[in-house]
Amino acid sequence: MNKVKSIIDEWDPANLLCIYCPDNEYDDEIHEIINALPNIQDVEELAIVIQNVFTEFFGEQRPKWDYTQCLIIAKKIFSS
């Protein structure tokens, strides 16, 4: 969890941590991603999961978590 949390927090996909929101701001989303990991087959699938999780939790698609950005984050998670 710590690796995924540090990657997501550094990314700050909704720009919440940069405005000093609590450091647990993305914990629900991180838990969803971690729970999905055992069923993920490849980095592309993880990117889609990440994109879907943030879209579901925030109710809209935002440029910061378009597929290309999510793929970068998925690669970081896969390599950690």
Q: What is the pLDDT of residues 2-17, one digit of tens each?
A: 999 999 999 999 999 9
CATH superfamily name and code, 2-79: Apc36109-like domain (1.10.340.20)
Q: How many CA atoms lie within 13 A of 41 on its CB side?
A: 1
What distance in Å separates the CA atoms of residue 64 and residue 35, rounded to the nearest whole number? 22
pTM exceeding the 0.85 threshold for the entire prediction: yes
Per-residue pLDDT tens over the stretch 18-39:
888 888 999 999 999 999 999 9
What's the confidence (pLDDT) of residue 20?
A: 81
Contact (Cβ atoms closer than 8 angstroms) between residue 11 and residue 62:
no
What distance in Å separates the CA atoms of residue 33 and residue 3, rounded to the nearest whole number? 12
Compute the average pLDDT of residues 48-61: 92
- For the chain, what are the domain ranges? 2-79
Asked if the model's pLDDT at residue 63 lies above 80, the reply is no
Q: How many CA atoms lie within 13 A of 5 on its CB side?
A: 9
